Amino acid sequence: MAITADGHAPTIALDGARKVRGNLTQARIRWMILALVLGFGLVGGRLVQLGLVETDSAIEGQARDVITATRPPILDRNGLEMAVDIRVPSLFAEPRRIIDVQEAVRKLRTVLPDLSADWLRERLTGEQGFVWVQRELSPAIQERVMRLGIPGIDFITESKRFYPGMNEASHILGSTNIDNRGIAGIERHMDGEDIALLQDLGLARGNALTPVDLSVDMRVQHVMHEQLVDALQRYSAIAAAGVMLDIHTGEVIALASLPDFDPNQPATALVKDSFNRITAGIFEPGSIFKTVTMAGALDSGAVRITDSFDARFGIRFGRYTIDDFHGKHRILSLPEVYKYSSNIGTIRVMQAMGKDNFRAFLTRIGLDTRVPFELPEMRLPTVPKELSEVGAATASFGHGLSVSPLHMVTAYAAFVNGGNYIAPTLYKRDLATAQAQYRRVISPQASDEVRYLMRLNALEGSGSQMNKAALGYRVGGKTGTAEKVVDGRYSSSKVTNFFGSAFPLDNPRYAMIIMVDEPKAENAQQGTTAGWNAGTVTGRIVQRVAPMLGVAPDFAEILDENLVPPAIR
C-alpha cells in the first residue's frame, strides 16, 4: 500500500463503502415502494370486490328500513294522543357467524327460557344472513342478552304501536301487526291502496312528523264507552254499540262497540263477537226506521203534517194481520202515529206515498248501498230491490230489511240538518268542505217537521225516559225494538233495541244511534223495550257530553214551542 507524504492511507476504501451503503438504501426504498403499491392494490381490489357484492340488508326478506320505520301519531280532534310509536329492541341472529350453536342455545335459554331448544337450534344453524329470534323485548332483557357475549347475536330497534286509551277507541283505531303495519281500523286505512290521497292529507306511512288528526273527541268517546259498559251490566245485554255524528260536517265524534278488544294486544280482536257493530253489523232497525218513512212521505208532498190516518183496525195481508203493539185503535194524526209508534198508521203513511216512491227514497238516502267511510270493516245492507205490498208495509216500520247503525245515523243527520246528506268521516273536515259535498235528500220544510216529531216523541212518547235523563238539552228521537229471528221465526223474548236521536233540536248539531242487544229488565218495574235501555243510555250520554260540546242546558218552553210547525199551532 502506498503511503502519502503526510503519513495517511488513501480514502478510496471509505468512498467504496459509502457507495455500497447508498445502493443498499435505494434498493430497500424501491422494495418498500413496491410493497406499498402491492398492499394498496390488494386493499383497493378488495374494496372493489366488496362494492360489487350485494349486502344482505334484510331480515327474513324484510328490509331493515321497513322494520325501523315509524308510523305517524294519531290524535283526536283536540290533540290528545290516540296512537303513538314506541321504540323496542328485537333480537336477531346471523347463523353464519355463530361459532358454537349448542353453546349459543344454552346461553340464550338462560335469559329466554320460553324458547324451544330445538326451534332455537334450527334457527341458529345454517348459512342465512339474518333470522329473527324474538321480537319486541324489554331493555332489561336486551342488556342480559348482550352480557352473554354470543358472536352472531344482535339487536335491532324497531317501532311498536301503543294505544294509550286501551279498549276505548279500539274499533276506530284497529291495530297493527308485529311488523307495525295496519291490519284493522283506521290503521289499515292509513296503509291502504289510496296512497296519493293519503299523501295529500299528509298521512303517508313513515311520515312521523305529520300527525293524523281524527274527528273523534276522546272525552265524548270515553263517556260513550263507559255508558255502554254500564249498559251491558245494568241490562245483562250481550252487546251494545253507539255512534255520534256532527250533522253539519259528517265528522264522527264518537264510535264504540262492545264487546271490544285491546289494540295493544291484537289477538284479543279475534275473540268471538268482538266485531264492530256500527259498521260491520247489519240489523233490522225496528221503529227507528219510522223516521225514514215519515221523512220520505213528508218530502214527497203526498202526506202533510196535518193529515190523519185510520188506525182502528189491523191491516190484513193474506193470512197475516199487522197490528200495533200498544194500539190506540182510533183515527190518529200524523204526529200521533209517530208518537204512539203505530205500525198501522206508518203503513198508511207509506201507502199514501206509494211503495215504489218509498223504495226510491231508500236509495236516495243511501240505505241500500255501502256508506262511504274509511273503516275497512264494513258490511253491505240487505234491502230488497223491489218491494211487494207486504214487503213495503213491514219495511215502513223497520222489518224485512237490515242496515247498519252507521246507515241510520247518517240518515238521521240529514233529516235534522236541513235535508242534506253528507257522508260520515273519521278525519277532521271543516264546514266549507262538507257543504261542497252536500246532496239534498229532503226539503228544509220536511226537515223541520221531522225535528218536531222527534222532539214530540221525547216529550210525550216512547222517548220520555230518555228526556228525563237529558233534561234541558232538547234531545229528540225515536225508539226501535226489533224482534230477533230465532229458528226462522221472530222471537218476542230476544230483541235488539235502538234509539235514534239528535240534539239540541232547537239548533241541531249532533245525531246519535245507540244499540243494546238482548237486554233484560233492570228491575221489576221496568220493561225490555228500547225506551227503558237504549233510550236511557242516550239520555245519560247527552247529559254528560253536551257541556263538553258547548251545548248549554235551557229549560225555556218557548224553545219547544218554536219547533211546532205553523200548520199545527
What would the mean pLDDT of 53-61 be, rounded to a whole number?
A: 51
Cell of 447: 226537515
Stretch among 153-157, 332-336, 401-405, 453-457 having the lowest mean pLDDT: 153-157
Domain ranges of the chain: 63-213, 221-561
63-213 and 221-561: identical CATH topology: no
Please, what sign has the CA dihedral across residues 122, 124, 130, 131? positive
> Would you state the CATH architecture of domain 63-213?
Alpha-Beta Complex (3.90)
Q: Which amino acid is at 429?
A: R
pLDDT for 202: 43
Higher-confidence position of 107 and 303: 303
Question: 324-382 pLDDT, tens per residue?
Answer: 877 788 999 999 999 999 999 999 999 999 999 999 999 999 999 999 999 999 999 99
H helix intervals, 95-166: 101-111, 117-124, 139-148
Question: 223-272 pLDDT, tens per residue?
Answer: 999 999 999 999 999 999 999 999 999 999 999 999 999 998 888 888 88
Q: Which amino acid is at 393?
A: A
> Model's pTM, two decimal places?
0.80
Higher-confidence position of 373 and 104: 373
Q: Using CA atoms of 303, 304, 310, 316 in order, give the dihedral in degrees to the nearest 10.
A: 20
Higher-confidence position of 553 and 324: 553
What's phi and psi for 117, nearest 5 deg? -60, -45
Determine the Cα–Cα distance for residues 396 and 339; give it in Å rounded to an integer: 15
Higher-confidence position of 283 and 57: 283
Higher-confidence position of 152 and 460: 460
pLDDT for 194: 44
What's phi and psi for 84, nearest 5 deg? -140, 160
pLDDT for 201: 44
- Helix-strand-coil split of the chain, %, nearest 5: 40, 20, 40
Determine the Cα–Cα distance for residues 354 and 387; give it in Å rounded to an integer: 11
The closest alpha carbon to 178, from 146, 211, 134, 209, belongs to: 134
What would the mean pLDDT of 25-36 be, rounded to a whole number?
A: 76
> Would you state the CATH architecture of domain 221-561?
3-Layer(aba) Sandwich (3.40)
